[in-house]
Structure 1
């Protein structure tokens, strides 16, 4: 997720032209000189929360006298009170390793099996990593890739495209685990906090969520959700459970609509789907990505009504890819996948009480991490915007009964 506050005065002074020169020289062997450099925010208000995403624009002159425009995407730490927390989570280290090592391995596995699959933008690895956190990626906008409107939700076509790409990614990660062994310890959790600094925030958010239940026609569920929320751990900081015999994969970890980009042809036909933002990957059941994505990012008319169908569709694509890559263990059954989704139902409350409201909220100056974490007036105003707008009310009326009937708020510990 990403910082959504556009503030050009807070562009990092250390992120200068020199940080990109080695990448430009790799892309343009006939470079004569860099004529201009401009750094600008790329994410709109309310589009990102944990990192600051910037676009570095360059005008070049080549040795043959021609002019060339190029841009790169740069991810850096946010300009917010949450900066130190994000720096401690090891998410930049994790994303560099996922882009730099695992994705190339996964793509090579498919090439060797006779299938050409690309998971995301080109990653530019610096010869010498700067002191500040920095990840540089291809600007997919240059090839026509775009996000779709988060508030509308994804239709069945784009939902299936993401589920297929997730299945391919998951399958490759599972095969690699069998071939090469465990992923590093950082991949045991989404964020690697040394201590839980978000307990007060969770209590405040859950309280505000339950207070909105009359709007959701769910007052009768308030006590159950409040009791469950009071003892639930923070899923982003939680270690992945080690369940004997459970099928496990490298999850995207932050699989909401803004972290998928789509390329269409001139007539609107979908050509390609890419991942971005792989900072919170976790090695666990694919149930995490499936719950996270379907509940947060699909259109309301398919989110619950077609939930079981979407799991079946994902399972079909998963087993196809596992077979292609010659997975050495028994294929996971559809029934076992559904069982894992119930087992990992602890994800449902943070998704529907926090992530989904963030997806559906209107863009505004206060749609940022500082407002989200604030326990005073600014935070209360933002939480009201999150939890009381007409879009979230419509979604909660459908999702809350479904979650409750699945036992998602049942205290079992």
Structure 2
């Protein structure tokens, strides 16, 4: 496993020069500086900022690059599934996005559609990397977005223009996966085969990070529910909700990850008539994994996705439900949820239709119409209803972390890396952010129940 010293040496001896070569033969490297990042920004990763002073054909240029390594000892990497997560993230940059770009070129469409998804990529490599260590490693070097005016959004709740911008990038991203499956099935199968499956349930005896996180989530939720039940439930009218929660407790309390695995695996089971709604999803699509760019009026005019470590092949409901539950204001959920779902679908469907229309020579009129009908809003809405509870489950364990104070978050991050199975990690996880977070989570559960997202439980 690479140490910080080894990572710094690798950047100094190899990566800096590989990056500056990207700028062509007329580029000369004048100087460079490397800075380590600290705090929660590198929860699963070791992050570095590399500043390059370049001279390109007589013109001075500064380039800021974010470099990301897999961190932790081997035991942590195995128990946190880092080897799988970082391998898949590199696979996205090295294989999936280039395949999407190629499809756009063949469709005679501007490839900036892909360029707008992510930062410029200088290096994406996973495996045994010369000059780093003898273990499998991950190196990802991306253009730093802050000098270009990109920033993270608010810690939890986003403005309407930010939410709409996220729908505007997520829809086309998913549509490219659908279009690849339809138009280039062999390429699509190659990409599926190259992606390492990231299940929630592991073999017996294998340390399971998801088991830890969702054990905490259910312990926390049901302790709060039992303690505040009379306050949370509104008389006889909430009897169906109470019955559903007891049903969920009986079926999944001992193994909460079985609920997550059911959603993940069932949604892409070819036996399901709507499995075509599965594709290569971001997996962790929410406010802290996107960067926003604003115009002169302070409104979002561009957005880029980062941190694809939870990349999976599964239902697009995984991305949408987590994003909506995590980042929408709870007091507006009744009105903003349906509006954003329709906006996401419109952006997805427009992109899919554009690509298919550009390739209509390879499709009959009947096929073209059938594919467009398959992805209609009515069918999407029915599909989402079956898997929309996924987002609530993620929020159960993750939202309290985001609502906690900086000191608790920093301690929780350290415990996660050093002793995620220990009593101290569990205790802090069920206490962080207190009942303020618990009330917010219960509000999500109530909304999901009222929308029918829990019907199958």
Using the TM superposition, give the Cα deviation of residue 113 of structure 1 relative to its aligned residue in structure 2, in angstroms: 4.7
Q: CA deviation at 1:16?
A: 2.8
Q: Give the superposed CA RMSD.
A: 3.3
2:175 is the alignment partner of 1:175 = no
Within 1, Cα distance between the matches of 2:425 and 2:9? 31
TM-score, L = length of structure 2: 0.76
**In structure 2, do the counterparts of structure 1 residues 231 and 128 end up closer, same or farther at CA, with 3 Å as the change threshold?**
closer
**Partner of 1:5 in structure 2?**
none
The C-alpha deviation readout for 1:349-400, integer Å capped at 9, x for no partner, is: 42231133333333332141634824313441243114x153x245224212
Q: 2:33 aligns to what SS in structure 1?
A: strand
Q: Among residues 373, 377, 384, which one is paired with 2:424 in the alignment?
A: 377
- Is residue 16 from structure 1 mapped to residue 11 from structure 2 by the alignment? yes
Native 8 Å contact 1:204 1:375 kept in 2: no
3-state SS, counterpart of residue 150 of structure 1: coil
Gaps of 5+ in 1: 1-7
Which of residues 382, 405, 413 in structure 1 aligns to 2:450? 405
Question: 2:207 aligns to what?
Answer: 197
Greater gyration radius: 2
CA contact (8 A) 1:82 1:370 kept: no
Q: Does 1:125 align with 2:126?
A: no
Tell me if 1:97 matches 2:88.
no
Residues 85-234 of structure 1 mapped to structure 2, 5 A cutoff:
85-86=79-80, 89-110=83-104, 112-115=107-110, 116-117=112-113, 118-125=116-123, 130=129, 132-151=137-156, 153-181=157-185, 182=189, 183-185=191-193, 187=195, 189-190=197-198, 195=203, 197-198=207-208, 199-213=211-225, 214=227, 217-218=231-232, 221=242, 223-227=246-250, 228-232=252-256, 233=258
**Structure 2 residues not aligned, in runs of 5+:** 131-136, 234-240, 358-367
Give CA-to-partner distance per residue, 1:316-362, whole Å, 9 cap, x none.
Answer: 22211111011742431222212212222451442231133333333
Q: Is the 8 A contact 1:304 1:399 kept in 2?
A: no
Distance between the aligned counterparts of 2:224 and 2:455, measured in 1? Answer: 20
Task: Kindly indicate which of the two structures has a greater share of residues assigned to helix.
Answer: 2
Quick one: higher RCO (CA 8 Å, sep 6+), 1 or 2?
Answer: 1
- Structure-to-structure mapping, 1:246-395, within 5 angstroms: 246-248=275-277, 249-326=279-356, 328=368, 329-331=371-373, 332-345=375-388, 347-364=390-407, 365-368=410-413, 370-371=415-416, 373-386=420-433, 388=434, 390=436, 392-395=437-440
* Contact in 2 for aligned 1:77/1:86 (Cα 8 Å): no
Aligned residues of 2:90 and 2:126 also touching (Cα < 8 A): no
Q: Identify which range, 92-101 or 230-239, moves more after superposition.
A: 230-239
Q: How big is each residue's C-alpha offset from its partner over 1:230-279, in whole Å with a ceiling of 9 and x where there is no partner?
A: 34416379544332343323211111111111111233132211111122
Gap change, CA 1:99 and 1:296, over 3 Å in 2:
same
